[in-house]
Structure 1
């Protein structure tokens, strides 16, 4: 096996998602980004978030499915301030599946579907 990578397939929102994620996560880098000819549709992008590679594209084929909360990106925050700020930003236009709180297994934890439908689990211990 050469590699295994998280892959997020959007339907026309990949560019906006990448721009949003760059604002939320200052450590996120865009390693590669190509657009479809004469458009803002992402042909393929490779993001790196603290060593997690995430491939992103816009599907040229319309699908009846989208993201599911059963698959999420898990982020361990370093401070209470960081988790609070990230949670507030991701929640804008999104939906809290588990509001920020102490659930026993984490001092602070939240599970949020962002405005694009991608699920994020944030934890602080």
Structure 2
């Protein structure tokens, strides 16, 4: 069982979105579906699905929260493992872009020969990248983008998360060496870290964006006991985390 699962809150589209994702991502499948009746927001669909080996959960629970790019998902295409990696990336980009919008154009950047950031028609954001062959990346990685009042707190929160979970460690971290745009010297330019054997990335995004973390996309912890639930609940409440 995956310890940390990405959880998506939709208005009414959870099943539709899950079916869409599992139809366009390789090695993906629906795992379960259930219905909760007579809640304050009506009848709620709950669905589980797997994208390229990474577990997701989704719920249709009304329009209380709106998806935004503060949490997105890196999708890594490794040409050393698949000679069609570039083509597969391009094909997936076109499918995600249908009725979506480009956040960063699909092109060559200093960190990748092929990279783009897209927000799909449901509001979920994906960072598609052609992985450098010397890197050993998971195929799906949640990415945290610290903006506005959370800007400048990426490193603090990373260290807090690492202290919270077993089987956790810092991978790498790069800081801005001087003020640049909306970011200040010392802000996190990029970091990767492992929580309970799940890799994540994080960066500070400045204070110019119109979004920040909310309940629409969160990280759900699979617990084995009430005591474990209480542990994470108490720790999360003290730090105002997104988990």
TM-score range, shorter chain: 0.7 to 0.9
The correspondence of residues 100-115 of structure 1 with structure 2, limited to 5 A, is: 100-115=106-121
The correspondence of residues 66-85 of structure 1 with structure 2, limited to 5 A, is: 66-78=66-78, 79-85=85-91
**Other-structure match for 2:92:** 86
* Structure 1 residue runs without a partner (length 5+): none
TM, length-normalised to structure 2: 0.46
Aligned alpha-carbon RMSD (Å): 1.7
What is the Cα deviation at residue 113 of structure 1?
A: 0.3
Q: What is the number of residues matched between the two proteins?
A: 119
**Other-structure match for 1:10:** 10
Higher CA-based Rg? 2
Find the aligned partners of 1:44 and 1:31 in 2 and give their Cα distance: 11
Find the aligned partners of 2:28 and 2:122 in 1 and give their Cα distance: 18
Aligned CA distance change for structure 1 residues 11 and 114 (closer, same or farther; 3 Å):
same
What is the Cα deviation at residue 52 of structure 1?
A: 1.1
- Deviant stretches of 4+, over 6 Å: none
What is the Cα deviation at residue 31 of structure 1?
A: 1.2
Find the aligned partners of 1:62 and 1:17 in 2 and give their Cα distance: 15
Find the aligned partners of 1:92 and 1:84 in 2 and give their Cα distance: 13
